[in-house]
Structure 1
Amino acid sequence: MVSRNLQPMRSTSRRAPAAYPTTVATLSWDAPADNPSENMTQMIASIRNEDVAFNRAVSRDKYARGEIVATSEDLARKMFVLMSGRVHLICTNNEGRRLVIGTMEPGAIFGEGALDNPTDPTVFAEAAANSQVWTIPASEARNMTLRYPILGWGMLQTYGQRLMQVENSLEDVAYKKLPERLASLLMELGDYGDGLIKGVSHQSLADRLGTYRETVSAILRDFKRQGLVELGYRRITVLDALTLKDIAGIWV
C-alpha cells in the first residue's frame, strides 16, 4: 500500500492586484435583470465618482435630437458611452441615402476604433432623442478598458444588440413587404398608452426601413385611409393597434 502525505489545501482566493483601483470591487454586478441598461450607466457613473483619473479623461456632452454625436472619424478614434437618450448609427452612400443600421439605448458603448478595431468610413452617429454622451479619447480608452473591464463588457453587449438588430432587419427584408415592415416599426415606436409616436418624420422612418420618404408617405396615407393612424407634423397616432399588429405579423 502506497502511503501518501496529504497536504492541507491552500486557499484559492486571491486579492485583487494593487494596480486595480478599489472602485472595481465596489461595482455591483447583481443588477435587476429587467433593467440592465440602467445598471450599466450606474456602474460607469460610479467609476467617474470614485476615480479622479477617469473623471479627467471623460468629456460629457449633451445633444439635441438630430445632432451629430460622432462622425466616422470620431468613431475611429474615440470611445462613446450613451448615458441617456437614444442614438442611431447611420450609414450613407454616394447618393446621400441614409440607412439606420443600429439604434442604441442608455448603457451602450460604441466607438470600437478607439481600441484599434476597424471602422466603417460611411457610418456616423446621430442623436435620435435628446441625449447625454460621455467620450473617452483613444489615448485613454485602452488603458481605461484594461482597468475597468465593465467598459469592454458594455461594448461587447452593444455589439450583440447591434448584431441582433441587423439580423432582424435582414429577416424582415427577406420575408416581409414594406407595409408590413412599416406597421412593425410603428408598433415598436409607439407608446400604447395613447398610441402617440412623437418626434418622428417620414424621412426618419424611411431611414430605418432603407427606402424612400415618398414610399413611406404613400403607405402612411393608405394606413390613414383605413383608419389605422392619424398623421400630424412629426407625430403619428396609432388608432387601430390590433389591425397594425395583424399587418405586421405580430400575434403575441
Structure 2
Amino acid sequence: MPSLDKSLVAGLPMFAGFPASDLDEILREAQPIRYPKGTAVFQQDEEAQSFFILLHGHLRVIKVTSDGQQVVVRFVTPGEIFGIAMAMGCATYPATALAIVDSIALVWPAVVWPRLVAKHPSLAVNTLQTMGGRLQDAHTRVVEISTEQVEKRVAHALLRLARQAGRQVEQGVQIDFPISRQDIAEMTGTTLHTVSRILSSWEEQGLVTGGRQRITVRDPHKLFLLAES
C-alpha cells in the first residue's frame, strides 16, 4: 500500500511538533477507511482491535446502559483521536461510534499502540491531554445533570456543540452536523418532549432555529446568559 500523505495529519493537535520523519513512520501503520452514513465504526463491548483519527465527517458516540437506556456520550469531529480503549487499559470499546454523515478515518491496529508511544512519547502526552479534556467535559455534564434545571442543561449543551463544531452562517452559528432533538435529550438527561418544548420556545424568542436535524444558535450571547443565570 502506498504511504499516506503526512499533510493529512501534520496540522492536528495530536501531532503538534512531530518531525516529518516521525509522522511518516506513524502513518505507515495506518490505513484510511470510509464509513458511510449510518454505519458503526465500532460497537460497544466489541474487542478493541483498532484506534482511529477522524479525517472527515462526524460521529455520534452512544452508550447503552444495563437497563437499556441510550445515552449520547459525545460527538467526534474531524481531527480527533478516538477509540483509544487500549490507552485506557480497556480490552473492549466502552461505547458505540456511529457515522452520522459519510466519514473517513485513519485506522491503526491496537497492537501497535504500545510500540508507537514508547518510541514517540509526545503521542502519549497529547493523547493524555485529549483524554483529560474529555474527562473534564464529562465531569461538567454530571454536575449540570445533578444540579441544574433542564433549560440550563440544554443551553449549555448547545453552546458546547456550537464551540466544538459551529459554522458561522447568516443567521448565527450553525452546529455543522445533523443533530436531532432526541440527541439533545440523551445528552442532557431529559425527555424528547421537554427538549422539543424548550427549543420551540427559544425559536419563538429568536434564540435558535431548527429543522431537518440542523440547529442554528442565532443569539449565542443571550443563550450564554440563560445558561449562566
Alignment TM-score, normalising by the size of structure 1: 0.68
Residue type of the alignment partner of 2:175: I
- The CA RMSD over aligned residues, in Å, is 3.4
Comparing 150-159 with 165-174, greater Cα deviation is found at 150-159
Tell me how far apart the structure 1 counterparts of residues 148 and 139 of structure 2 sit (CA, whole Å): 14
In structure 2, what is the equivalent of residue 40 of structure 1? Answer: 14
1:113 aligns with 2:92: no
In structure 2, what is the equivalent of residue 13 of structure 1? Answer: none
1:50 aligns with 2:24: yes
Misfit runs of 4+, over 6 Å: 42-45
The C-alpha deviation readout for 1:188-209, integer Å capped at 9, x for no partner, is 3344553233522112212322
Tell me how far apart the structure 2 counterparts of residues 41 and 77 of structure 1 sit (CA, whole Å): 22
Tell me how far apart the structure 2 counterparts of residues 213 and 37 of structure 1 sit (CA, whole Å): 39
Contact 2:45–2:94 (CA<8 Å) still a contact in 1?
A: no
Tell me how far apart the structure 1 counterparts of residues 43 and 86 of structure 2 sit (CA, whole Å): 13
Residue type of the alignment partner of 2:34: K
1:186 aligns with 2:158: yes
Alignment TM-score, normalising by the size of structure 2: 0.73
Displacement after TM superposition at 1:106 (Å): 4.2
Tell me how far apart the structure 2 counterparts of residues 124 and 116 of structure 1 sit (CA, whole Å): 16
Computing the radius of gyration from Cα coordinates, the structure with the larger value is: 1
Residues 80-119 of structure 1: matches in 2 within 5 Å? 80-114=52-86, 117-118=89-90
Tell me how far apart the structure 2 counterparts of residues 102 and 208 of structure 1 sit (CA, whole Å): 8
Question: Percent identity between the aligned chains?
Answer: 27
Residue type of the alignment partner of 2:111: S
In structure 1, what is the equivalent of residue 210 of structure 2? Answer: 231
Q: Report how many residues are paired.
A: 214
Tell me how far apart the structure 2 counterparts of residues 74 and 110 of structure 1 sit (CA, whole Å): 15
In structure 2, what is the equivalent of residue 174 of structure 1? Answer: 146
Tell me how far apart the structure 1 counterparts of residues 203 and 46 of structure 2 sit (CA, whole Å): 41
In structure 2, what is the equivalent of residue 134 of structure 1? Answer: 106
Contact 1:114–1:137 (CA<8 Å) still a contact in 2?
A: no
Give the SS at the match of 1:144.
Answer: helix
Comparing 83-92 with 167-176, greater Cα deviation is found at 83-92
Tell me how far apart the structure 2 counterparts of residues 227 and 112 of structure 1 sit (CA, whole Å): 40
Gaps of 5+ in 1: 1-26, 28-35
CA distance 1:126–1:235, change in 2 (3 Å) = same
Displacement after TM superposition at 1:146 (Å): 1.9
